[in-house]
Amino acid sequence: MKSRQLLSLLLGSTLIFTACGQETKKTEDTKSEEKKAETSTESKSASEKKSSEVKDAETLVAKAQEKGQDIKSYHANLDTQLKSGSDTSNVKMEMSVDDAERTKISTDMQNQSMDMYIFDKKVIITQDGQNFIDATSAMEDQVKNQLDQLDYNSALETLNAYKDSEFKATDKGYELTKSFKGLDEYKQLSEATGSEDAVKVLEGQLKDIDGKATIIFDKDFMMTKTITDINMTVKDKKMNTKTTATYDQYNQVKAIEIPAGAKNAQSIEELQKSEETSTEKAS
């Protein structure tokens, strides 16, 4: 799964108001009511101001990109369902990126789980938390490029492709929806979001495709959820994929601890040589 898809974005902040006082109970109650009224008026005014500022997709994209400039860490949950005929498969993924650009991705697919640690330009995988493999050299260039785009600001750049999308203001914030139909429109969107590798992987096999992507923002212009729903025909087989991603813990992710085994993981080449040596000794 592509990092651009992984990165679909964000959450908002929760405002907490506290009041202190050393006066009498009656005075505290009075001040509390005044404070609530004042806060309510200020919040309503700020909300109305923001709403009045954003009336189209292009403005929303600009606001979201400006708001997200200082995001250094985040957490995401993704759920992808693939349907082909009577067959259905599901992939669940949890990802955390800390402010030191260390990433941990946990996946669960068909009852098989795997953890991936990305740090120091390395990609380390483990299925049991005990044995670690350095899969960096086995990664194709397109995968490496995608993994290099896991920081939030890289994800923000893909929003430029949504400047002409359908805009909608909601009670909780805003939504942008981009639809595409046919290979040409899909290729245009893929190139605009830097995800053209998806087209290359299926090149020659993808016969037709259509779908839509929706990005949901809160009132502070932070993305909280993305939903992609795609129908495609691959080698005359009709398929549907639907991915829902939610994002939270912005600038709140604690430092990701890299296991000692991951720091000293064997490369795939070293593992293969070790297995060959063991086989030769056994024979």
The pLDDT score that the predictor gives to residue 206 is 81
Is the per-residue pLDDT at 158 higher than 70? Answer: yes
Alpha-helix residue ranges (DSSP H) falling in 158-231:
183-192, 197-202
CA–centroid distance for 160 within its chain? 16
- pLDDT higher at 97 or 140: 97
How far does the chain reach from its first CA to its final CA, in angstroms?
41
Chain segment 224-262, per-residue pLDDT in tens: 999 999 999 988 899 999 999 899 999 999 999 999 999
Backbone angles phi, psi at 127, to 5 degrees: -105, -20
Residue 269's pLDDT band (boundaries 50, 70, 90)? confident
3-state DSSP assignment of residue 76: strand
pLDDT for 213 equals 92
Mean pLDDT of the region 207-221 = 93
Nearby residues of 32 by Cβ (< 8 Å), 6 or more positions away: 19
- Which pLDDT band, with edges at 50, 70 and 90, does 189 fall under? confident
- pLDDT-based confidence at 25, cuts 50/70/90? very low
One-letter identity of residue 49: K
Write the CB contacts of 121 (distance below 8 Å, at least 6 apart in sequence).
136
What does the pLDDT average to over 190-200? 71
Better-predicted residue by pLDDT, 134 or 278: 134
CB 274 within 8 A of CB 268: no
What average pLDDT does the structure give for the chain? 77
pLDDT, greater one: 63 or 200: 63
Locate 149 and state its tokens: 């785009």
